[in-house]
Amino acid sequence: LATALNDRGQVRYLRVEFAAAVEDYTAAIECQPGFEVPYYNRGLVLYRLGCFDEAMKDFRKVLELNPQFEDAALSLKQAMLDKEEKQKRGY
C-alpha cells in the first residue's frame, strides 16, 4: 500500500498537484514509516514550495533510514544553501 500511495503521489506531483502529492507521500509514510522514498519525494515537493525547514527534515529522515541515499544528501545540501540565500536576501 505504501508503494501505491507513493506512486500516486508521483503522478500528482507530475500534474503539479503539490498538496495532493504531499498528502499521498504522508499517507505512504504513515503506512510504512521505514520506507525512505516517500520522505524524499515529500521533501522535494516541500523544497519546490520554498518550505526549506520541512524539506530538510524529510531529507534528514531519508539519510537516517538510508545513509547511502545520495540524492537525499545532495538535496539536503541544496536546501540548506537556498535557505541561507533566502535569509541573506531578507525573504
pLDDT tens digits for range 3-61: 999 999 999 999 999 999 999 999 999 999 999 999 999 999 999 999 999 999 999 99
Domain of 80: which CATH number? 1.25.40.10
pLDDT band per the 50, 70, 90 thresholds, residue 90: confident
Q: Enumerate helices (H) and strands (E) in the chain, giving the number of each.
A: 5, 0
How many domains is the chain built from? Answer: 1
Residues 6+ away with beta carbon under 8 Å from 20 = 9, 12
pLDDT band per the 50, 70, 90 thresholds, residue 84: very high
- Domain extent, residue 61, equals 1-90
pLDDT of residue 91: 72
